[in-house]
Amino acid sequence: MKIRLVPTLLILIVMAVTIRLGFWQRDRAHQKEALQAQITQYESSAPLPVGAAPLALKDIEFHRVRATGTFLPGRVVYLDNRPYNDQPGFYVVMPFKLEGGGYVLVNRGWLPRNIADRAAIAPYVTPPGPVVVEGIARADASRAFELGAGGSAAHQKIRQNLGVASYAEETGLPLQPFVIQQTGFVPAFKDGLVRDWPVPDTDVERNYGYMLQWWGMALAALGFGLFAARKAAKNAADSAATKARTEGKAGRHGEAPGRQDTGSAKDA
């Protein structure tokens, strides 16, 4: 069977790419499973102290942390479009001046939004003096889908998203490169905010789903290649058989006059 070079190369390239992408999704799933195991381990660990010394995000993210300091309510930012139990609301994000120097952003919790007046902020309490907060170190204060960047422009009280680096540049505060997702005060203090945080979801199942899809495409490409090769071989065999039959008929028709001439010669 004659192999057609270009179609074969195309099928092999498709298979190589899709198989590689499947392995990449599998590796991503394994990484996320390892991260999920770390998060579970961190939940039962003692909180790490947050002070003036800068902490790298990669070394602190998802860890339980504890910080002592004072909130700066004059620089609060309300992150819009953060629903809770199907009710619209804000996340209250506030700078926290650390005892001993430095600052860190704290996502204090959820606050319901006034449906009639978006700018009307519901009352909540900010402790006036030094307090101890506990929480989880996160890369940001959560991100919501946003069209354009106007909804997160600087110097707005109500925004769609808030980046740590951009807020540090905006305010000039030497912030830690993470946000504390507050889980409570030590000792307990009621401030009117909801801190029923969603469990971090690494979405491992999606990666495994993509892995199977890519490998399924590789099998489909192989099946298509085998089907096309079989069909091409059958067509070639049919063409050869037809050609042979045609040539055989032509040969028989060409020999008949010769036999008649031979007979005539004998008669003569």
Question: pLDDT (tens digit, 9 = 90+) per residue, 28-40?
Answer: 888 888 878 878 8
Domain boundaries, the chain: 5-27+206-267, 63-199
Residue type, 208: Y
DSSP state of 187: S
Give the chain's mean pLDDT.
87
Reduce the DSSP state of residue 40 to 3 states and report it. helix
Nearest 5°: the CA angle 191, 192, 198 is 105
The percentage of residues in the chain with a pLDDT greater than 90, rounded to a whole number, is: 58
Greater model confidence, 251 or 74: 74
Q: Is the peptide bond before 187 cis (omega within 30 degrees of 0)?
A: yes
Instruction: Characterize 150-188 residue by residue with b for buried, 16 or more Cβ atoms within 10 angstroms of its Cβ, and e for exposed.
Output: eebeeeeeebbbbbbeebbeeeebebbbbbbbbeeeeee
| pLDDT higher than 90, residue 68 | yes
Predicted local confidence at residue 43, as pLDDT: 82
Read off the pLDDT band of 148 (50, 70, 90).
low
DSSP state of 225: H
| pLDDT higher than 70, residue 251 | no
Q: Are strands 103-112 and 131-138 parallel, antiparallel or unpaired?
A: unpaired
Instruction: Indicate if the alpha-carbon torsion angle 145, 146, 152, 158 is positive or negative.
Output: negative
Predicted local confidence at residue 265, as pLDDT: 46
Give the whole-angstrom CA distance, residue 254 versus residue 249: 9
Nearest 5°: the CA angle 84, 63, 111 is 20
CB of 158 closer than 8 Å to CB of 119: yes
| pLDDT higher than 90, residue 101 | yes
| pLDDT higher than 70, residue 267 | no
- What is the mean predicted confidence (pLDDT) over 51-74? 95
Predicted local confidence at residue 268, as pLDDT: 43
Model pLDDT for residues 172-227, shown as the tens digit of each residue: 999 999 999 999 999 999 999 999 998 777 778 888 999 999 999 999 998 988 88
Give the whole-angstrom CA distance, residue 80 versus residue 146: 11
